[in-house]
Amino acid sequence: MRNSVIIAFTAVTLVLGGGSTSFAQVGRVPNQILLTEQQFNSWILSGTGQSERPETYLESQLTLKVNQLANQIELSDEQRSRLRLAGSGDIARFHRQVEALRKTLVGQSFEPNKIQEPYQKIQPFSQQIQAGLFNENSLFDKVMRSTISSEDQEKYENYLSDRWHRQYLACVKAQIAILQQSIPMTSKQRDALVKMLDIPPRRSQSRIVYMQLYTFYRLGQLSAEDLKSEFDGAQVDALRRFGAQYAQMEPTLRAQNLLP
């Protein structure tokens, strides 16, 4: 089985285990590429699978964040209101910055060899969303830390970390099942590989497809010595070759905030 990642202009296609995810290509005018409203939004929300206006997506994320927090610790109506107000402030600040850039880019046409220029200008905003707009250094985070106790903060952080770790382990096991189709392994070997790959990425808002890529990227980081303790020579060579295909994904994973 062959997995590949194809990047051309603004069209990104990720093929994993027979499934694919594509970002729409920008509208075209003769000999140039027109940056449309839809494409601008898609780039801002790159990795989320959404193409709505960013503020609409962020409002839904704020509601999810507050509800998630309330499910772990008891929040009063006043605390909820303060958190929502703080989150709305983060969204408003983000919106102002995005709209200033939108006015300079949307509706402009670019030579095919220069389409990466607007993309690079948009990337910092996309990375903010991938990192989580309401996380560390946000107004929401500051208000949360002044609103709830340190014990409740620790409880919530442990919940987020445990949830992310479980999600990652489920992804690792699913990807090893895909790998099993081309590189047969015993149950003991599969369990050993799960342990070797048990280095979760940074928490991110990216879609699961990027966590799947990260899993195979981690495989590529394992040395022959790491693998020899559990696999025979032919398996080691096959696993190393497979993992090597994903070394080039490091910039993509960094852009999705999965790597430091």
Q: Residue 161: what pLDDT?
A: 96
Q: Name residue 94's amino acid.
A: F
3-state secondary structure the chain: CCCEEEEECCEEEEEECCEEEECCCCCEECCEEECCHHHHHHHHCCCCCCCCCHHHHHHHHHHHHHHHHHHHCCCCHHHHHHHHHHHHHHHHHHHHHHHHHHHHHCCCEECHHHCHHHHHHHHHHHHHHHHCCCCCCCHHHHHHHHHCCHHHHHHHHHHHHHHHHHHHHHHHHHHHHHHHCCCCCCHHHHHHHHHHCCCCCCCCCCCHHHHHHHHHHHHHHCCHHHHHCCCCHHHHHHHHHHHHCCHHHHHHHHHCCCCC
Radius of gyration of the chain (CA): 21
3-state secondary structure 112-155: HHHCHHHHHHHHHHHHHHHHCCCCCCCHHHHHHHHHCCHHHHHH
Q: Are 1 and 178 in contact (CB under 8 A)?
A: yes
pTM of the model: 0.76
**27-65 per-residue burial string, b: 16 or more CB within 10 A, e: under 16:** eeeeeebebeeebbbbbbbbbbebbebbeebbeebbeeb
Length of the chain: 260
CA distance 185 to 190: 6
pLDDT in 10s for each residue of the chain, 260 residues: 333 332 222 233 332 223 333 333 445 556 789 999 999 999 999 878 777 899 999 999 999 999 999 999 999 999 999 999 999 999 999 999 999 999 999 999 999 889 999 999 999 999 899 888 998 889 999 999 999 999 999 999 999 999 999 999 999 999 999 999 999 999 999 999 999 999 999 998 888 999 999 999 999 999 999 999 999 999 999 999 999 999 999 999 998 889 98
